[in-house]
Structure 1
Amino acid sequence: MGSTNVYSDEEINVLITGFGPFKKEYPLNPSWEIASRLPAILPPLRAKQPSTQKPPLIPRVNLHVHPDPIRVSYKTVRALIPKLWAPTFDSSSSTSTSSTSTAALAAEPTTSEAPFSEQDAAATTTTTTTANEEEPTPKKYDFAIHIGMAGPQPRWAIERLAHRDGYALRDVDGEFLRDKENQLKDDDWVWKGCPAELRTDLDLDVILEKWRGYAPPGLVVAGTPQNGGGGDEKEDEKEGGKEGGKGGKEGEGGKGGGGGAKWYGNDIKGGNKGEKLVISEDPGRYLCDFIYYSSLAELYKRKAERKVVFLHVPCEVGKDGEYVRIGQELMLGLVRGVAEWLVDEKKRKGDLR
């Protein structure tokens, strides 16, 4: 067994969101299909190969999935994001009931040596009404992951930055953002004083290496030092839809099972040829970019560390939902990678208890 976890009296809480449908072509959004199927607590790792470096011990990680898919609407996102972050900064709102996180409270701390099985995974999602009523759970988030969809190729990207301006396309309600007008006329403009570009404070270069280490076999390019098999470098490198290009529209949704739906936006541009898990520098100036900037800006205004990342997933759910299943495993690996980075940062800064 592993040594005593130095964080045994702490927990890590992560906020996770996914988007709802986008027009008739995308009645299912893979971001929500992935988010809504996540367990309430980060499961223990599967048994690793003897040659794999032992990951650091981390505390229990509670996954707080926002209970509803977020409407692909500027107004919806702008109204929601401050509410999601408010309890983190308001001590009077630091507890509330949550079906997803209550199960986490009853679970054992995550260790790097415990075996993992389907039975374990099922146990992490079990909740009861009685438990929810008896044990309110903290809603202070240590970091957040927003999920949205990118192009049809099976690539997954974590976004480094987001943009304040350039949202020139209509949302699902047919509305424009019109922030340029607000920026010029309104002294109370919500993003007044915020820079045109905001970057996450998470070290994505380090987190990418950790993330790749937990990727399913076949998603890491052969020859890279991370765990995983050689990637298939064939058809996955096609760039974007017909209407792609920088700043192009990013369709927020995914058609169940794939099959010829019109693609509205950009493909993932980051990474080298053949890489399936990459860092991107352009989230597309549509609702994915908008929600990411909204979160970063909310933390920026509060002078807090911007521990947020956006994950882009393929727009299709894949044959028999294969991309959703892969996406779930990748999300858990990403959560673990960020949690490990947080632990490493605490050690580096000498903030251990």
Structure 2
Amino acid sequence: MTVVSEINVLVTGLGLQPYPDGTDGGRIDENTSYLVTTLLPRTLEPKTALNPSANRINIITLPHYVRSEYRYVRAFCRDLHQKHADDVDVFIHLGEARGWTWLTLERAAYKQGMSSNWWSAAEQSEYYTAADDVGQTIKDLEPCPWVRLPMGLRSALDIDAVADGASAILKSRYRFERAGVCDDRLDPRADDANAVVSDSGVQRRSPIDIRPHDEGGPYLCGFLNYESLANRYAKRRELNVLFCHIPGEADPANLSRTRDGILAITVAAANEVGRRRKK
């Protein structure tokens, strides 16, 4: 008899924010990273199309988005990991990346004080000094509480294994299902630029690409990732945190594809947790 293991995964999404580069005073008024969390099921039963693993996966989402404010994010992460110190197996944070058509799993996050030359010229100053949704930067906060922590932190989960596992799950599902998962809140008849036509003439969508990526960046996404990891590291708890960037398009077809990708990442991450438990 197969023993079913329960794995709890908590997923968050960010809220309203100005564009990181301040282009034309632009603003993200509807953040897809939070919208996607509202489309996730509460449970993924084992040995199903959504979850081919032997794990029953419980998905915990929040009734509100994470406000795009440095001060709020720091307090949010502190409270989150105090409340869920032991009852969550994987934390998955989502952030929006406008213009991207793929999902990323970020390998690392950096502490305030970091600077780099691998972002655009406008973003090569010290990290987290672009204004947040209330016009503040990291300079407006209290002194950094993580002085004794490493400049960079990374997840304890194998990012490449999670990305590969999620991609395999998606390819298998999309091979046998006509259009991914259907949801009453999404219109499956919506035009999909990622649809392909099979030899039989049936329209099928291609799965979203899932890629490992170096880091979450010098703005709120990278900041949230580091703060979440730091709260675990400081208490010597497992760094069971993932950060994913998702596309910014909020039309039904793209939200559906993105949700499918996040569900696949959730299952792949749960599989990694299950393997680690057996060691």
1:311 matches 2:244 = yes
1:73 matches 2:73 = no
Deviation per residue, 1:293-349 (Å, 9 max, x gap): 0010000000111010001001222xx3222111111111111001111111222x1
Aligned residues: 229
Maintained 8 Å contact 1:216/1:330: no
Structure 1's 217 and 210: CA in aligned 2 closer, same or farther, altered over 3 A? closer
Instruction: Give 1:14 shift.
Output: 1.3
Equivalent-residue separation in structure 1 for 2:70 and 2:49 (angstroms):
43
Identify which of 156, 163, 171 aligns with 2:103.
156
What secondary structure sits across from 2:138 in the alignment? coil
Instruction: Give 1:13 shift.
Output: 1.2
Instruction: Give 1:218 shift.
Output: 11
Aligned to 1:141: 88
Aligned to 1:331: 262
Aligned to 1:243: none
What secondary structure sits across from 1:292 in the alignment? helix
Structure 1's 296 and 311: CA in aligned 2 closer, same or farther, altered over 3 A? same
Map 1:1-353 → 2, pairs under 5 A: 3-5=1-3, 8=4, 10-23=5-18, 25-44=27-46, 46-47=48-49, 56-58=53-55, 60-89=56-85, 140-165=87-112, 166-178=127-139, 183=143, 189-215=144-170, 276-317=209-250, 320-347=251-278, 349=279
What secondary structure sits across from 1:160 in the alignment? strand
Structure 1's 325 and 343: CA in aligned 2 closer, same or farther, altered over 3 A? same
Instruction: Give 1:206 shift.
Output: 1.1
Maintained 8 Å contact 1:15/1:144: yes
Structure 1's 204 and 172: CA in aligned 2 closer, same or farther, altered over 3 A? same
Equivalent-residue separation in structure 1 for 2:139 and 2:159 (angstroms):
31
Equivalent-residue separation in structure 2 for 1:309 and 1:65 (angstroms):
15
Equivalent-residue separation in structure 2 for 1:343 and 1:311 (angstroms):
21
Structure 1's 331 and 296: CA in aligned 2 closer, same or farther, altered over 3 A? same
Equivalent-residue separation in structure 1 for 2:142 and 2:76 (angstroms):
19
Residue 159 of structure 2 aligns to which amino acid in structure 1?
L
Maintained 8 Å contact 1:216/1:326: no
- For structure 1, the residue ranges without an aligned partner over 5 or more in a row are 49-53, 90-138, 184-188, 220-226, 229-256, 258-274
Equivalent-residue separation in structure 1 for 2:103 and 2:61 (angstroms):
20
Equivalent-residue separation in structure 1 for 2:173 and 2:270 (angstroms):
24
Maintained 8 Å contact 1:19/1:147: yes
Q: Select the structure of larger CA radius of gyration.
A: 1
Structure 1's 62 and 55: CA in aligned 2 closer, same or farther, altered over 3 A? closer
- Greater per-residue strand proportion: 2
Maintained 8 Å contact 2:46/2:52: no
Deviation per residue, 1:47-75 (Å, 9 max, x gap): 59xxxxx95422x2111112201111001
- For structure 2, the residue ranges without an aligned partner over 5 or more in a row are 19-25, 113-126, 177-189, 191-207
Instruction: Give 1:281 shift.
Output: 0.4
Deviation per residue, 1:188-223 (Å, 9 max, x gap): x4212111110111011111111101226899xxxx
Instruction: Give 1:27 shift.
Output: 1.5
Instruction: Give 1:45 shift.
Output: 5.3
Residue 150 of structure 1 aligns to which amino acid in structure 2?
A
Deviation per residue, 1:265-313 (Å, 9 max, x gap): xxxxxxxxxx921000021111110110001000000011101000100
RMSD (Å) for aligned C-alpha atoms:
2.7
Percent same amino acid at aligned positions? 29
Structure 1 moving runs of 4+ over 3 Å: 43-48, 216-219
Residue 74 of structure 1 aligns to which amino acid in structure 2?
Y
Equivalent-residue separation in structure 2 for 1:45 and 1:151 (angstroms):
34
Deviation per residue, 1:209-251 (Å, 9 max, x gap): 11101226899xxxxxxx79xxxxxxxxxxxxxxxxxxxxxxx
Deviation per residue, 1:113-147 (Å, 9 max, x gap): xxxxxxxxxxxxxxxxxxxxxxxxxx711110000
